[in-house]
Amino acid sequence: MRETFVTNLTRLAKDDESIFLVCGDLGFNVLEGFRDSYPKRFLNGGISEQNIAGLCSGLSREGYTVYFYSIGNFPTLRCMEQIRYDIAYHNENVNIVAVGGGYAYGSLGTSHHATEEIGMLRMIPNMMVTSPSDPSEVKDILEITSKNSCPSYMRLNRSGEEIIEYQNNFSLGDLHHAYKGCDAPKKAFISNGAICFEIYKDLVAGDVKADLFSLPVLKPLKKENIFHQLVKYDEIIIVEEHQLIGGLGSAIQEIMYDHFSSCNLTTLPKIHRIGIQDTFQSLAGSQDFLREKAGLFNYRNHI
């Protein structure tokens, strides 16, 4: 995902001279291409995410479309108030891109697990919040954020993620149909981020009679569309590599219950939410080891 991000950002920056990339002293073997192509539009701001978030706001005020790239917690939790006040409140064109979403940097320890940032950022007005499921969605989202002017967040995994062959075209705020097991299945899985691809593989391998949707944009959402699409199912399983509080499952449940209270339907699908249960993972381990420890693979019980 990070290669897709930087390759496409470098491509877009050729024609769009407003694109400016700031990093927090990282990007070895990733950002050199952009840096060398556009040295006047690249800045290593040092290990100082609070200052960088503020200075990105300043760069945006001067007309730049700013991308702030760093690892998981650092361009998000470390500078949350600068994001809220200097970026979102002033509605600046600052796009935060974090590599290492969820447990992607598993063995590096809890400091490098990005498992709360989506919920925190989703609450901030004006922020677009995204967690693409595969490199194709990284590209789609990047195209959008490079053209609009609102602040945004994009969570990336690491590198080497595979492409999902989607059933429909990407549309901002809509469900992205990743897998179709049969006509009119009774069960749907919804996910985003790299764990969506794990579900995809399992459903394909088992020829499972279910649908899988990616929901790569958590805000803004086309709520009516999502409600009417999901209400057809008997059972919905939502899977996220994030705390259960405030993330993807929360967003979907908010839509389902808010619309249910004002429509004529008498039943809702059963919704199962699978995510991190208000815990930290303090042991070393691979991304899959920590996903297993956190119970994220329990979605397999529903296949």
Point out which residues bind other proteins (CB under 8 A).
40, 43, 45-46, 48, 50-64, 81-82, 85-86, 89-90
Residue 230 parent element (H or E): helix 223-230
The least CB distance from residue 20 to other proteins, in Å, is 8
Tokens of 97: 């891109």
The least CB distance from residue 221 to other proteins, in Å, is 28
Which one, 87 or 142, has the nearer CB to other proteins? 87
Alpha-carbon radius of gyration of the chain: 19
The torsion angles phi and psi of 260, rounded to 5 degrees, stand at -60, -40
Which one, 88 or 195, has the nearer CB to other proteins? 88
Which one, 40 or 169, has the nearer CB to other proteins? 40
The least CB distance from residue 146 to other proteins, in Å, is 18
Task: Report the C-alpha gap between 217 and 174 in whole angstroms.
Answer: 8
The least CB distance from residue 38 to other proteins, in Å, is 11
The least CB distance from residue 65 to other proteins, in Å, is 12
Task: Report the C-alpha gap between 92 and 18 in whole angstroms.
Answer: 13
The least CB distance from residue 187 to other proteins, in Å, is 47
The least CB distance from residue 94 to other proteins, in Å, is 10
| Residues comprising the chain, all counted | 303
Task: Report the C-alpha gap between 276 and 77 in whole angstroms.
Answer: 18
Contact predicate 169/232, CB 8 Å: no
Contact predicate 176/133, CB 8 Å: yes
Which one, 48 or 298, has the nearer CB to other proteins? 48
Tokens of 6: 């930087």
Which one, 7 or 50, has the nearer CB to other proteins? 50
Contact predicate 84/124, CB 8 Å: yes
Which one, 46 or 160, has the nearer CB to other proteins? 46
Which one, 108 or 150, has the nearer CB to other proteins? 150
Distances (CA, A) of 214 to 25, 30, 45, 80: 32, 26, 34, 26
The one-letter amino acid at 102 = G
